[in-house]
Chain A
Amino acid sequence: AQKITQTQPGMFVQEKEAVTLDCTYDTSDPSYGLFWYKQPSSGEMIFLIYQGSYDQQNATEGRYSLNFQKARKSANLVISASQLGDSAMYFCAMRDMYSGGGADGLTFGKGTHLIIQP
């Protein structure tokens, strides 16, 4: 069984500072994917970034980067130069990527409520 743990229920950060949102995971599967989603107050889930378990380099997407430490089973999201619009719930998720090319549904953490202060 897979498990995602997000230990920060809420965070307050000053605008323009960098933010690190913690995520640890547990799985017995050798091939898996890690995802981060943002959920603003409007409720929509927005895909941010993906990291494959066999990827050699950390994923980056604009101001988002994923600090992937496989031995520690850690997949922290780093947001550089935070903006007021970054205020939202952030969810870490994972799923198996089995060799047949299919994929299961995502397993989510409880989320971190990030508030950016001016």
Chain B
Amino acid sequence: EAGVTQFPSHSVIEKGQTVTLRCDPISGHDNLYWYRRVMGKEIKFLLHFVKESKQDESGMPNNRFLAERTGGTYSTLKVQPAELEDSGVYFCASSQAAYEQYFGPGTRLTVT
């Protein structure tokens, strides 16, 4: 069974540009989570989807971040416009039960 996949693995963009990160969860997993780790800081929760609905988006830093999960399958996280402080590793995770979350390999975003 395929694990959680994320695309791209690495993105380098200039300040002010737009970037879209994609996450494909494990097939059949209704729960999808986005997290971010800024260098030197803890991994922070961004938001949680249950199927296509946003269950909790309390961790989204500001309105420059937009997450979608059309059809309850893959999810995208768009940053527009990107700022320097958005640099970090963005992780996606999925789960079916309310226990372990399976993480993807992450997308390393560098904003210059």
Contacts and interface: CB of A to CB of B under 8 A. Distances in A.
B42 interface: yes
Contact of B56 (A33, A93, A105, A107): A105
A35 B100 contact: yes
A93 to B, nearest CB: 8
Q: Binding site of B, secondary structure by majority: helix, strand, loop or mixed?
A: strand
B105 interface: yes
A93 B100 CA distance: 11
Interface residues of A, number: 25
Given A37-B103, A97-B98, A45 B91 contact: yes
A35 B56 CA distance: 20
A18 interface: no
Interface in A85-112: 91, 93, 97, 101-111
B109 interface: no
A50 interface: yes
Contacts of A43: 89, 105-106, 108
Interface residues of B, number: 29
B45 A50 contact: no
B100 A104 contact: no
B103 A104 contact: no
Given A108-B35, A110-B42, 7 more contacts: A42-B105, A47-B103, A102-B55, A105-B47, A105-B59, A106-B33, A108-B43
Interface of B: 31, 33, 35, 41-48, 50, 55-56, 59, 89, 91, 93, 95, 98-106, 108
27 contacts: A4-B42, A33-B98, A33-B99, A35-B100, A43-B106, A43-B108, A44-B103, A44-B104, A44-B106, A45-B91, A45-B93, A45-B103, A46-B103, A47-B100, A47-B103, A50-B100, A93-B43, A97-B98, A101-B98, A103-B31, A105-B45, A106-B101, A107-B45, A108-B42, A108-B44, A110-B42, A111-B42
